[in-house]
Amino acid sequence: MLVRDIMKSPVITVDTDASLSSVYSVMHDHGIRHVPVMRRGVLVGVVTDRDLRLATSALAAKPFSPQAKVEKVMSQPVRTADPLDPVEEAARTMRQLKIGCLPVTSGGALAGIVTGVDLLDALLRLTGVSTGSSRLEVGLPDHPGELARLTGLLAARQVDIRSVLSHADSPGRVRVVLRVATIDTKAIAQELRAEGFEVLWPPQKPW
């Protein structure tokens, strides 16, 4: 999945000379929290609803007037993504920088924007949780062929796999989370255990 698959486009923007109050109205009217700031058609900053609240708060050392220009409080320079960037790279950038959005540029022009909510939606799509499926979680040795052995066994039992995600659990071991197109995961788990697999979900009953 690429950034272009989840970004919002076209993008609602404001100019650098827009007032803080007018920018707040734009956010409120469109139900958004992040707005790219443009100067003569070029992206120069980003402002968030949090920026506006902090800038105009009576608790601030020098509160800005609601009529102050947004360029006074916008964040710059702007970190951007490319439409062809993998979604996970965008997520890593946002996590490392602790930011809530990434404007997306193509050929120097603003093409879209990705927010934390868009990344959550992407996670739901990648896991297949909204496609009428059930969850299996299996611990595997981190050896070549182990995942193929697992998926091959499921295929032999005519179990349709909707998604596969894996991550390192400990040295020499990985966890694999699958979404499968069946509700009878307990029977599948029993068969997998009989074949020597460590099934972590659904849990095995003690009786």
Q: Which two tokens stand for residue 15?
A: 């100019």
Domain borders along the chain are 3-123, 128-201
The kind and range of the H/E element at 14 are strand 14-15
How high is the mean pLDDT in each 10-residue block of the chain (207 residues)? 97 98 97 97 97 94 96 96 97 97 96 97 89 93 96 95 93 96 94 96 79
Dmax (CA) of the chain: 70
- Amino acid (1-letter code) at residue 72: K
Question: Which tokens go with 108?
Answer: 């120097």
Q: What digits encode the pLDDT tens for the residues 175-203? A: 999 999 999 999 999 999 999 999 999 99
The number of helices, as runs of H, and strands, as runs of E, in the chain is 7, 9
Residue with tokens 């803080």: 20
| Cα–Cα dist 118/100, whole Å | 10
Contact between 33 and 49 (Cβ < 8 Å): yes
Concatenating the DSSP letter of every residue in 13-75 gives -EETT-BHHHHHHHHHHHT-SEEEEEETTEEEEEEEHHHHHHHH-TTSSSPPPTTSBGGGT-B
pLDDT score at 46: 98
What letter would DSSP give residue 80?
A: -
CATH number of 3-123: 3.10.580.10
Whole-number pLDDT of residue 3: 98
Model pLDDT, residue 129: 86
Specify the fold of 128-201: Alpha-Beta Plaits (3.30.70)
